[in-house]
């Protein structure tokens, strides 16, 4: 089992590396972005200049930006000459990919093009915002899904039907609409003005006041995330529980005198949970990658927003590091799903 | 009883976000930014938020006076006096204010100006934009008799250098280069330093020191002579600036507008979403909301509660929504074809659709209130009949299939590029496509990501484009966007010839107002005839602010208001009373 686990983790690490390498090379093949970001718009007249910016001067400035960011080095160990005759050229270790890979092996994710800060610092700061939010949302959503699943599984009923309908409606509602609806509902002076959508923590506040502020501040983002993921977890669980309840062993259990609730919790639930493991581990990348929509709408500086803004600004070092982190989380999620399967059902374990 | 915990939680949450008390005279002014400044390095400033922040921390020789919409002396005692040398050089005389001082109490001197301009030329720093922008200043001649007096030798005779020559943050030499190593290099030597040659050791050491200061993230490491210092910066959440207690600007009485710094604290909240920002304003979590989108502005104005709490300003900006033509494309090489297509655009309808009728229509790139505006030209209109006539004049014939062809040529079909996710651009593009389709002209829309659009436009890979030409009220130099030297960079329509270049150069250097008026009227007629681009209308800037704020100066220049002029009344009025 340990050997299997190590092999899976090793394969996951290699896959994450390959994904990050592809993103690294692909992003740099686009070209133009970092130079434009640094030099601004040549057709912008809002800050008057001493004459027209000539093509030669612009190219010189672009070259200076590329040199400062290390983008003037060859991209990879070898390249093909752009002009005929077709020839391959070997660049040795003086290339962008080698520098990035060596840096990564030394724990250096590089520096942001936008502000020159270490990517690890930027990413760490953003994940510190996202992780508690998405983590709590995941825990809450799982708890609620279990509760709702157990309540809705036994069968038809007015309230149950209504709840199932609501969950189905939520499932097809885009997250931005859901979050915006909550914002307009609970943080709107024209309606219910009970929760803050943005705002600053009170200055010179006691720890209780700060905790209260953050509790209130995170209520709407948390609610948005929980409501967004709840149908995805609950509806399959209800279907699985109902399937299990109709199985022969459940009938036998009831015949032996167990109550419907006992059958549901002790017998049907453990069997129904197994397929849910995959859904749960699928949530893992979102924990570190954050959710852009919620972070933008509620003005939270999380990792989803960091990644989206870095991609828009062609800040490749941040993009590559965030992709690496998300890929690692995804692959770890898959390994975790396998481990949970093995624990839940020993028949699935790999041969020793 | 079983739901008691839920009730308690709701009470706790509600108490945590109770309504904001009426602000006191020294309460912070809270403003909205749509994005984080990302870096506060005074040499970089990649976005409007960074520029706003920099104006709080640092000062230039000249600053924008939002009240009068002009440049006014800030560190400088007065606007520069110009001496024109030969036919291409200018000498601008400046003198620094006697009171101007760094936080250490040391005076701001001409050597600091010289140092800053040299720092802009040091390789390895994020100064490529400054280097290109201020490369026209070749030398700083310091008066040996007065360390505050100096002259800038400029390689240009354009009128705009009178203001642009003083529009850069002056940095302290004593803090960044205490050993004065840069003084051994002339500004011209640093500008002309070959890119392939490694920098001099002294320059490399200075660059390293500057990088270690990490001004991008810790701007207080480079003390500025502005009125504020950065108190707190939570990336993508908020920035808090605190006013310096003993700021040198307070000693100047009466204090000029550009040196007024009233708020004790300025807090910029980063709220990327407009709907969330509007709600934050309504909840009094914000005091100033600039650049409000049209629909949200309308909703706010329609709300009686919002009208009671906030004041609303609409000011025409200097940003003009424009459709450009690739004048080097075979199909669009004939100016009559370009004119024909321009009659398919409906500026009046588009202004109503995108800006609810606010904004200002124009005949050209100058705003109608500009003294050089050519009011003899008619406003552009939607007139498909003229399109048909002009296309026929240009040799296009409509075939049985409804398409337009020149003899032996392919059907008239065009592509249009614009930045995706920009609704105003998309509306223009869709209107033109619909109008063109009715005449049998196919227009393919190519919305793309910003850098893709820019690259395509600079390399001439387009027929038409939609974009905003961001202007200013300080000068009338159109060389960056229409001179042939700028083809491949700012001259996106790839327009121009020797005559138009001469006219543009003459406009930029002409000092006599009567002659300048003549030249600019000619320029506007030329633009209308040649039609390299069609300005549709000037966009409005909309501002919503707390009714209790005083000294709100709404302006048509970004950011659309003067943050340092704002203040709360000395004694708070009763709640709910305007």
Question: Does the pLDDT at position A239 exceed 90?
Answer: yes
Count of Cβ atoms closer than 10 Å to residue B71 Cβ:
26
Question: Does the pLDDT at position B206 exceed 90?
Answer: yes
CA distance A244 to chain B (A): 32
- Looking at every residue in chain A, the average pLDDT score rounds to 86
Tell me whether residues B132 and A183 touch, CB distance under 8 A: no
Of A60, A64, A199, the CB nearest to B285: A199
Give residue A281's pLDDT band: very low, low, confident or very high (50, 70, 90). confident
* pLDDT value of position A336: 86
Residue A77 CB contacts under 8 Å (≥ 6 apart), including other chains: A90, A91, A92, A93, A95, A97, A98
Question: Does the pLDDT at position A335 exceed 90?
Answer: no
CA distance B206 to chain A (A): 16
* pLDDT value of position B14: 47
* pLDDT value of position A352: 61
Sign of CA dihedral B36, B42, B47, B53: positive
pLDDT, tens digit, for every residue of A99-130?
Answer: 999 999 999 999 999 988 999 999 999 999 88
pLDDT, tens digit, for every residue of B421-455?
Answer: 899 999 999 999 999 999 999 999 999 998 889 99
Give residue A290's pLDDT band: very low, low, confident or very high (50, 70, 90). low
Give residue A3's pLDDT band: very low, low, confident or very high (50, 70, 90). confident
Helix (H) or strand (E) holding B114: helix B110-119
Q: Which of A240-244, A287-291, B330-334 has the lowest mean pLDDT?
A: A287-291
- Looking at every residue in chain B, the average pLDDT score rounds to 92
Q: Does A38 touch chain B (CB under 8 A)?
A: yes
How many CB pairs lie under 8 A apart between chains A and B?
253
When scoring A198, A307, A317 by the number of chain B Cβ atoms within 10 A, the one with the most, hence best to mutate, is A198
Residue of A nearest to B124 (CA): A68
Q: In chain A, what residues touch B470 (CB-CB under 8 Å)?
A: 41, 44-46
Residue of B nearest to A113 (CA): B126
As a whole number of angstroms, the distance between CA B557 and CA B492 comes to 23
- Which 3 state secondary structure label does DSSP give A79? strand
* pLDDT value of position B62: 96
Tell me whether residues A42 and B489 touch, CB distance under 8 A: yes
Q: In chain A, what residues touch B481 (CB-CB under 8 Å)?
A: 43, 45
Count of Cβ atoms closer than 10 Å to residue B398 Cβ:
16
Q: In chain B, what residues touch A114 (CB-CB under 8 Å)?
A: 38-39, 46
* pLDDT value of position A212: 81
Listed ranges A20-29, A151-160, B356-365; the one with the highest mean pLDDT: B356-365
pLDDT, tens digit, for every residue of A165-198?
Answer: 999 998 898 989 999 999 999 988 888 888 877 6
As a whole number of angstroms, the distance between CA B141 and CA B113 comes to 10
pLDDT, tens digit, for every residue of B5-33?
Answer: 444 444 444 444 444 455 677 899 999 99
- Six token digits for residue A216: 């209130």
pLDDT, tens digit, for every residue of B302-315?
Answer: 999 999 999 999 99
Only one residue has tokens 């642009």, namely B164
Q: Nearest 10 degrees: CA dihedral of B30, B35, B38, B42? A: -60
pLDDT, tens digit, for every residue of B120-131?
Answer: 999 999 999 898
Q: How many CA atoms lie within 13 A of B514 on its CB side?
A: 0
Instruction: Kindly report whether the peptide bond that precedes residue B254 is cis, defined as omega within 30 degrees of 0.
Output: yes
Q: In chain B, what residues touch A53 (CB-CB under 8 Å)?
A: 132, 480, 486, 489-490
Tell me whether residues A45 and B485 touch, CB distance under 8 A: no
pLDDT, tens digit, for every residue of B224-239?
Answer: 999 999 999 999 999 9
Contact B535, B322 (CB under 8 A): yes
Contact A277, A245 (CB under 8 A): no
CA distance B434 to chain A (A): 28
Tell me whether residues A199 and B282 touch, CB distance under 8 A: no
Contact B545, B552 (CB under 8 A): yes
Give the pairing type, strands B265-270 and A88-90. Answer: unpaired
More confident residue, B76 or B159: B76
Percent of chain A at pLDDT above 90? 41
pTM score, two decimals? 0.89
Q: Does A304 touch chain B (CB under 8 A)?
A: no
Q: Give the largest Cα separation in chain B, rounded.
A: 91
DSSP labels, B488-530? TTTBTT----HHHHHHHHHHHH---HHHHHHHHHHHHHHHHHH
Select from B281, B238, B294, B240 the least CA-distant residue to B35.
B238
Q: In chain B, what residues touch A183 (CB-CB under 8 Å)?
A: 275-276, 279
As a whole number of angstroms, the distance between CA A300 and CA A181 comes to 18
Q: Does A52 touch chain B (CB under 8 A)?
A: yes
Select from B328, B283, B333, B334 the least CA-distant residue to B309.
B283
Contact B312, B544 (CB under 8 A): yes
* Crossing angle between the packed helical segments B335-342 and B513-530, to the nearest 10 degrees: 90
* Residue numbers of A between 61 and 100 with CB closer than 8 Å to B: 61-65, 67-68
Contact B163, B105 (CB under 8 A): no
* pLDDT value of position B160: 85
Question: Does the pLDDT at position A54 exceed 80?
Answer: no
Give residue B87's pLDDT band: very low, low, confident or very high (50, 70, 90). confident
When scoring B5, B11, B13 by the number of chain A Cβ atoms within 10 A, the one with the most, hence best to mutate, is B13
Q: Does A56 touch chain B (CB under 8 A)?
A: no
Question: Does the pLDDT at position B403 exceed 70?
Answer: yes
Question: Does the pLDDT at position B574 exceed 60?
Answer: no
Helix (H) or strand (E) holding A234: helix A207-245
As a whole number of angstroms, the distance between CA B268 and CA B238 comes to 5
* pLDDT value of position A5: 84
pLDDT, tens digit, for every residue of B514-551?
Answer: 999 999 999 999 999 999 999 999 999 999 999 999 99
As a whole number of angstroms, the distance between CA A249 and CA A264 comes to 11
* pLDDT value of position A85: 75
| Interface predicted TM-score (ipTM) | 0.86
Q: In chain B, what residues touch A42 (CB-CB under 8 Å)?
A: 458, 480, 486, 489-490
Tell me whether residues B13 and A194 touch, CB distance under 8 A: yes
Q: In chain A, what residues touch B216 (CB-CB under 8 Å)?
A: 115-117
Of A38, A125, A200, the CB nearest to B126: A38
Reduce the secondary structure of B85-113 to three states and give it as a string.
ECCCEEEEEEEECCCCECCCCCECCHHHH
When scoring A38, A53, A111, A122 by the number of chain B Cβ atoms within 10 A, the one with the most, hence best to mutate, is A53
Residue of B nearest to A185 (CA): B279
Q: How many CA atoms lie within 13 A of A246 on its CB side?
A: 7
Q: In chain A, what residues touch B238 (CB-CB under 8 Å)?
A: 200
As a whole number of angstroms, the distance between CA B58 and CA B247 comes to 12
Question: Does the pLDDT at position A315 exceed 50?
Answer: yes
Q: Which of A22-31, A77-86, B138-147, B251-260 has the lowest mean pLDDT?
A: A77-86
Of A39, A215, A306, the CB nearest to B129: A39
Find the angle CA(B190)-CA(B194)-CA(B196) to the nearest 5 degrees: 130
Q: In chain B, what residues touch A196 (CB-CB under 8 Å)?
A: 16-17, 283, 285
Count of Cβ atoms closer than 10 Å to residue B207 Cβ:
17
Q: In chain A, what residues touch B17 (CB-CB under 8 Å)?
A: 194-196, 199, 213, 216-217
More confident residue, B31 or B88: B31
* pLDDT value of position A52: 58
């Amino acid at each position: 089992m340990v050997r299997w686990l190590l092999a899976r983790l090793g394969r996951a690490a290699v896959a994450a590396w390959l994904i990050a390498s592809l993103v690294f090379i692909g992003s740099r093949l686009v070209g133009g972005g970092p130079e434009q970001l640094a030099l601004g718009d040549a057709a912008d007249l809002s800050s008057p200049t001493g004459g027209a910016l000539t093509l030669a001067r612009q190219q010189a400035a672009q070259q200076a930006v590329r040199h400062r960011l290390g983008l003037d080095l060859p991209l990879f160990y070898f390249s093909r000459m752009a002009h005929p005759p077709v020839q391959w050229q070997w660049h040795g270790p003086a290339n962008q990919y080698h520098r990035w890979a060596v840096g990564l092996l030394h724990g250096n994710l590089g520096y942001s093009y936008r502000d020159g800060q270490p990517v690890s610092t930027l990413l760490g700061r953003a994940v510190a915002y996202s992780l508690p939010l998405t983590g709590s949302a995941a825990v809450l959503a799982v708890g609620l899904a279990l509760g709702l699943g157990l309540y809705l599984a036994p069968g038809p009923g007015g309230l149950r039907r209504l709840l199932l309908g609501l969950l189905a409606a939520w499932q097809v509602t885009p997250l931005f609409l859901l979050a915006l609806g909550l914002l307009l509902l609970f943080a709107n002076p024209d309606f219910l003005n009970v929760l803050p959508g943005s705002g600053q923590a009170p200055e010179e506040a006691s720890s209780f006041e700060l905790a209260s502020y953050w509790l209130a501040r995170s209520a709407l983002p948390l609610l948005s995330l929980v409501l967004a993921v709840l149908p995805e977890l609950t509806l399959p669980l209800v279907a699985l529980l109902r399937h299990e309840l109709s199985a022969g062993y459940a009938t036998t259990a009831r015949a032996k005198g167990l109550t419907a609730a006992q059958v549901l919790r002790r017998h049907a639930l453990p069997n129904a949970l197994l397929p849910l493991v995959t859904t749960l581990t699928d949530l893992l990348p979102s924990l570190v990658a954050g959710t852009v929509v919620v972070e933008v709408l509620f003005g939270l500086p999380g990792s989803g927003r960091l990644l989206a803004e870095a991609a828009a600004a062609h800040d490749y070092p941040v993009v590559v590091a965030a992709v690496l982190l998300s890929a690692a989380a995804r692959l770890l999620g898959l390994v975790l799903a396998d481990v949970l399967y093995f624990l839940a059902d020993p028949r699935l374990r790999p041969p020793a | 009883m079983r739901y008691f915990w839920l009730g308690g939680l709701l009470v706790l949450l509600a108490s945590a976000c109770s309504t904001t008390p009426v602000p006191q005279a020294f309460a912070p002014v809270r403003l909205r930014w749509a994005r984080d400044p990302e870096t506060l390095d005074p040499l970089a400033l990649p976005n409007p938020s960074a520029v706003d922040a920099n104006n709080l921390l640092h000062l230039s020789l000249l600053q924008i006076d939002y009240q009068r919409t002009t440049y006014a002396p800030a560190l400088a005692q007065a606007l520069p006096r110009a001496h024109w040398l030969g036919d291409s050089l200018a000498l601008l005389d400046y003198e620094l204010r006697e009171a101007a001082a760094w936080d250490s109490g040391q005076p701001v001197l001409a050597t600091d100006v010289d140092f800053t301009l040299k720092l802009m030329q040091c390789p390895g720093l994020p100064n490529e934009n400054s280097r290109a922008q201020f490369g026209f200043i070749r030398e700083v001649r310091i008066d040996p008799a007065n360390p505050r007096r100096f002259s800038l030798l400029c390689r240009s005779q354009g009128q705009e250098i009178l203001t642009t020559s003083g529009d850069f943050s002056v940095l302290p030499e004593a803090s960044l280069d205490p050993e004065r190593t840069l003084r051994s290099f002339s500004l011209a030597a640093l500008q002309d330093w070959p890119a392939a040659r490694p920098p001099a050791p002294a320059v490399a050491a200075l660059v390293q020191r500057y990088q270690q200061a990490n001004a991008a993230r810790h701007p207080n490491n480079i003390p500025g002579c502005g009125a504020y210092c950065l108190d707190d910066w939570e990336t993508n959440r908020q920035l808090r600036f605190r006013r310096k207690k003993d700021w040198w600007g307070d000693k100047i009485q009466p204090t000029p507008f550009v040196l007024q710094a009233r708020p004790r604290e300025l807090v910029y909240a980063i709220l990327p979403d407009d709907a969330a920002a509007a709600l934050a304003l309504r909840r009094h979590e914000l005091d100033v909301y600039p650049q409000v989108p049209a629909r949200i502005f309308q909703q706010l104005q329609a709300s009686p509660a919002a009208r009671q709490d906030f004041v609303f300003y609409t000011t025409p900006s200097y940003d003009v929504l424009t459709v450009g033509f690739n004048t080097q494309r075979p199909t669009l090489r004939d100016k009559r074809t370009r004119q024909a297509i321009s009659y398919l655009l409906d500026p009046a309808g588009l202004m109503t659709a995108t800006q609810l009728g606010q904004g200002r229509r124009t005949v050209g790139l100058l705003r109608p209130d500009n003294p050089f505006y050519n009011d003899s030209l008619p406003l552009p209109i939607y007139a498909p009949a003229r399109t048909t006539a002009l296309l026929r004049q240009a040799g296009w014939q409509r075939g049985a299939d409804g398409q337009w062809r020149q003899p032996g040529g392919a059907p008239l079909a065009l592509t249009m590029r614009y930045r995706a996710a920009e609704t105003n651009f998309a509306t223009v593009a869709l209107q033109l496509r619909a109008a063109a389709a009715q005449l049998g002209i196919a227009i393919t829309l190519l919305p793309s990501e910003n850098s893709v659009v820019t690259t395509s436009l600079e390399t001439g890979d387009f027929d038409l484009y939609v974009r905003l030409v961001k202007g200013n009220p300080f000068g009338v130099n159109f060389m960056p966007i229409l001179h042939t030297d700028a083809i491949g960079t700012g001259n996106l329509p790839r327009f121009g010839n020797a005559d138009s270049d001469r006219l543009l150069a003459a406009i930029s250097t002409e000092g006599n107002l009567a002659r300048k008026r003549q030249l600019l009227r000619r320029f506007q007629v030329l633009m209308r005839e040649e039609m390299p681009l069609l300005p549709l209308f000037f966009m409005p800037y909309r501002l919503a602010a707390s009714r209790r704020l005083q000294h709100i100066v709404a302006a048509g220049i970004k950011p659309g208001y003067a943050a340092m002029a704002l203040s709360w009344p000395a004694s708070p009025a009763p709640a709910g009373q305007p």
